[in-house]
Copies of this chain bind each other. A is one copy, B any other.
Amino acid sequence: MQMFSKACEYGIKAAIYIAVNSSENKRVSPKEISEKIDSPQAFTAKILQALVRHNIIISVRGAYGGFEIDKTKIETTKLSQIVYAIDGDSIYNGCGLGLHTCDENHPCPVHDKFKLVREELRDMLDNTTLERLALEIKSGVSFLKT
């Protein structure tokens, strides 16, 4: 079960790391980020660009630049927004067995159960904020690598 793509994994962890630092008014570089979340640097930079385009994080070009996230956005940004920016809406639509449409009136054999699991995942993504995840990292309750 590949819940998220690699790109999405890196994006989530990078966003959390940026949130942790922005809460302390520190801008961070792709180099630092990829070291701290254990991800390939150039690939991570690409993913950061996507998060910038979706207005989840802010990039500052030029000397003394880097990535940061608006403090108010740390509180409001949900995991679902990050996943959407990178993987699109594939979480919400699509049949678990690849039928052309996931439809109550024309369900595949695992539709009912699959839908439950997916709903739970959706709730999880919709109800988890960057703020909470960043706090858990700061307090040492959870970790971004190893």
* A-to-B contact residues, CB < 8 Å: 1-6, 9-10, 12-13, 16, 79, 87, 90-91, 96-100, 106-111, 113-114, 116-118, 120-121, 124, 128, 133, 136-137, 141-146
Q: How far is the CA of A19 from the CA of B97 in the complex (A)?
A: 17
Contact status B96-A109, CB under 8 Å = no
Contact status A1-B118, CB under 8 Å = yes
Known: A1-B118, A100-B146, A143-B99. A113 touches B124 (CB 8 A): yes
Known: A97-B144, A109-B143. 10 other contacts (CB 8 A): A1-B121, A2-B5, A3-B117, A3-B118, A9-B98, A99-B146, A106-B146, A107-B142, A108-B144, A116-B124
